[in-house]
Amino acid sequence: MQSGLYVALSSQMALERRLTTLADNMANINTVGFRSTDVKFDEVMSSTQNDLNAKVAFVSQGNDYLSTRLGQLDNTGNPLDFAIKGDAWFAIDTPAGQVLTRDGRFSMTETGALVSTRGFPVLDPGGAPIQLDRTAGPPAVGADGVIHQDGRQVGTIGIFSSDIKKGFVRYENSGVIASDPPRAVVDDPTVGVVQGYIEQSNVNGIREMTQLIQINRAFESVSSLMRDSESSLDEAIKTLGGSR
């Protein structure tokens, strides 16, 4: 009977973790380039103390992963706004190291450096900062990320891939630092740069709200089952104790 309490407790811990990720997703529903967090839960089999052949299934703590759904592309008409087509990332140089992001709202500094909204340098495929010519007019960028000004090539916006499933930590709102070292994407027709567009958050507000309601109800159901289990255990102890 106590095993049931432990299983219910593991379920509540898992539900609480999912609630946390859903709340974070909802908080970033309007964050440009944000990718929502989902959680994968597995069963953990454990033998009971009284019977080594009896297996009890607990809920694992879960593993976070990023949704690969594409967010809506909005046409801004700004030549320094960019979106990624496909499952890839831009890279920026930050105090924490190289950070991957899908927020392509870039700008040009007084010295011609291409930077993010926070002023971090945008990187080319080789991991070097991109330098533009402020006197050469707005850049024209192709799907391969190659930048032209006044008809001449001046640089390339880096497009990077990484196996985020191997682990990641978030950096600020839309950035991620991946455990798997990012690799420059070369000659892949499924990914590319779209100039004059930005990608909105891929959070589906209706879906997230529905899951919030379902998880709250599940949490309440588990709490009710735990109370019933404790009550049954108390009654069993009273009955067995009184029969002596």
Contact 170, 101 (CB under 8 A): no
The residue among 120, 181, 130 whose CA lies nearest residue 158 is: 130
Residue 81's domain spans which residues? 74-199
- How high is the pLDDT of residue 44? 46
Residues 169 and 87 in one domain: yes
- How high is the pLDDT of residue 1? 46
Residues 21 and 45 in one domain: yes
The number of beta carbons lying within 10 Å of the beta carbon of residue 101 is 28
What is the bridge-based pairing of β-strands 73-75 and 197-199? Answer: antiparallel
Alpha helices in the chain (DSSP H): 2-27, 205-242
Amino acid symbol at 23: A
Residues 103 and 134 in one domain: yes
Residues 32 and 95 in one domain: no
Sign of CA dihedral 131, 135, 139, 140: negative
97: β partners = 94
Name which of 5-9, 100-104, 128-132 the model is least confident about.
5-9
How many independent structural domains does the chain possess? 2
**In this model, does residue 47 exceed pLDDT 80?**
no
Write down the residue that tokens 């900062």 correspond to: 129
- How high is the pLDDT of residue 230? 57
Residues 130 and 191 in one domain: yes
